[in-house]
Chain A
């Protein structure tokens, strides 16, 4: 049921002969930068090799330079013809703050991908795609692919408050129905995405739910759908180092088995994920991350 896309005909943008690649020609140049909200940044990056191979649900590993860390960033859009990919991120830690300092024309020192298994796209019937906060950016291509595969598409996008709602127009364009929720009621329906979801589940006819957003949101989406027995896919973002299956730092227990999110995921059955363990592993470096963030905000790091 996996969507089969023939190896594209774009020949990796302008690169027809892979033996002609040089270290200088493989660059990742920022071609567009937008501030989607006070804390959300969009970068469109020219990187033809990755743009030619990207699929919904995959991610790239970004490294911002000698003192930086490797950050997994889900690909939120890609254009094999233009040779670009788009990432949208919240500037929440040292790595993302540093990434947010790249401007149009700058080369990002390292960008590797696409990584992870693409989301399994099929015609399930009626699909609900839920994007929480910045997760909406990642949910959009999955929603678009599900729509293209013939599903009736209901999208729910949720955020704390109105200014954090992103991609409303884009999501609306592909959805049969779009529901917006804000925690404070400043836009759309007041409440959590799970409140809107529960109403849909009660009405019946939902075949699959895909939830992408902060870990607590995905956890509660899975908890909400469980009694209804509706298949629920979540896209996990644990701590990663290499992103290629080498270190196991991103391991997570799914259905009692240890999985590596980077190569076995990032999509997993939300009903099978050991959320407590994932939460503990994600929080392990909290103190170190806070300290690094303060340095980054102060501009004190290289």
Chain B
């Protein structure tokens, strides 16, 4: 395909087949496809795409290396600013970021930046042993230590950047496995575990120590970290407190938060008979909400064998917050969309397990604060949907553990940690934060972007404090 032609489509597993397995849906470009796609890039000098990348990847630079068939070089160039390219290539909403600003998008289709990112990162992994040895930029910083709370996208990014600078970095993770939401939240058919493990291993290869099963705030406090060995702390504890609807019957058995559903399956592997964590496999599942987490819950329910999976969403198609690609995937997989519908109450059986959901039909009124048209219930429109599993996926609030155990930490009324957006520093000197712990539930890449800002802020803070140049 010549410059200016349509983009190369992503090969995918067939929908009828893929709903029976947890293998990756998108199969990745072949070398031929990647070369063809890379050649579509105009290599604009102004690099508008880079302005859309929260982690400042040199996009025309790495695509140029793909054109030169230096795929490993392309991957390494990306890793100079982004420690997690194979993850970003899979889960970033590129259509909202780099690809949106691509010059080609004005007249036709943008360069498929995300697919090329994934190709190069996967190519490097497949064609190299171990990791490139990255020498710290400033070995004299090795005596300064930064503690990172949480091993999700924000924590991995800040740790990777600080380790590359030369700092000693320890990540404390509350769960028994690393990766945070990348492991417990994002299903393996979107992000295979070996890809996640590989990128975590890369961060580890930079010298970052990972210590699991440490609940900062409980095992020890943020203040202890500053008093006992660390020069700065980064809080990337994520948005781990599920929002619920607050309607009658929500605590019936079989009503899960999105987090619980995904954690049982993704982290605890409850759907495998030889893993101890139990799960009731659904026949008829209803998922409430239409964000990316809702899509993940929906498509996971299909894969564990649900016969009928319905998304219930109070607004319309246009307002669904999930990525277009994920909505499309869900549609192809046979998910039913019940739009302009909102649950009013959950109905239980004699054992206290959910058996149906009473819903109201909605109409869209004037735009609300979010700019989306406000859904208004139609009086008297109640109807029931039969279901044995309900997954409430309305988003998450920041986890309260750090907030409630850290004196002097200023937070928003809804729990988000308040930071200086220029540096990432919180109200406590030396304590920084970023990602969902600050913003509430957002995207992997926005957390990574915030973490990059914090890494620079931490470096500046430590240098100033210790009179380093």
Contact = CB atoms under 8 A, between A and B. Distances in A.
B240 A246 contact: yes
- Interface SS of B by simple majority: loop
Interface in A101-115: 109-115
Nearest to A301: B274
B242 A248 contact: yes
Interface string B142-178: 0001010000000000000000000010100011100
A105 to B, nearest CB: 20
Interface stretch (A143-151, A194-202, A211-219, A249-257): A249-257
Interface string A237-264: 0000110111111011100001000010
A109 B176 contact: yes
Given A246-B241, A281-B352, A17 B228 contact: yes
Contacts of B234: none
A79 B168 CA distance: 31
A7 B219 CA distance: 12
Interface stretch (B106-114, B251-259, B379-387, B450-458): B251-259
- The bracket for how many chain A residues form the interface is 35 or more
B278 interface: yes
A112 B176 contact: yes
Interface in B364-411: 399-401
B215 interface: yes
B240 A245 contact: yes
Given A245-B399, A280-B351, A70 B212 contact: no
Contact of A18 (B184, B225, B241, B351): B225
Contacts of A289: 278
A47 B41 CA distance: 56
A248 B174 contact: no
A249 B211 contact: no
Interface string B235-278: 00000111010100011111011011001100010000011111
B230 interface: yes
Contacts of B170: 18-19, 21
B213 interface: yes
A63 B278 contact: no
A20 B145 CA distance: 10
A241 B219 contact: no
A259 B209 CA distance: 35
Contacts of A67: 274-276
Given A246-B399, A288-B278, A70 B176 contact: yes
Contacts of B62: none
Given A16-B228, A19-B147, A26 B214 contact: yes
A92 to B, nearest CB: 13
A39 interface: no
Interface string A107-138: 00111111100000000000000000000000
Nearest to B348: A280
Contacts of B399: 244-246
A70 B268 contact: yes
Given A253-B251, A280-B353, A244 B220 contact: no
A69 B352 contact: no
A241 B277 contact: yes
B280 interface: yes
Interface string B335-364: 000000000000000011100000000000
Given A258-B244, A292-B278, A248 B253 contact: no
A283 interface: yes
B393 to A, nearest CB: 12
A251 B213 CA distance: 22
A34 interface: no
Nearest to A257: B246
Nearest to B260: A247
Interface in A177-198: none
A284 B253 contact: yes
B178 to A, nearest CB: 10
B29 interface: no
13 contacts: A11-B228, A18-B224, A19-B229, A22-B209, A50-B219, A69-B278, A112-B213, A113-B219, A241-B277, A246-B263, A276-B352, A284-B254, A302-B274
Given A18-B147, A244-B401, A258-B250, 9 more contacts: A49-B220, A50-B219, A63-B176, A69-B275, A114-B218, A247-B260, A263-B400, A284-B254, A284-B280
Interface of A: 7, 11-12, 16-23, 26, 49-50, 52-53, 63, 67-70, 94-95, 98, 109-115, 241-242, 244-249, 251-253, 258, 263, 274, 276-277, 279-281, 283-285, 288-289, 292, 301-302
Interface of B: 145, 147, 168, 170, 174-176, 184, 209-215, 218-221, 224-225, 228-230, 240-242, 244, 246, 250-254, 256-257, 259-260, 263-264, 268, 274-280, 351-353, 399-401
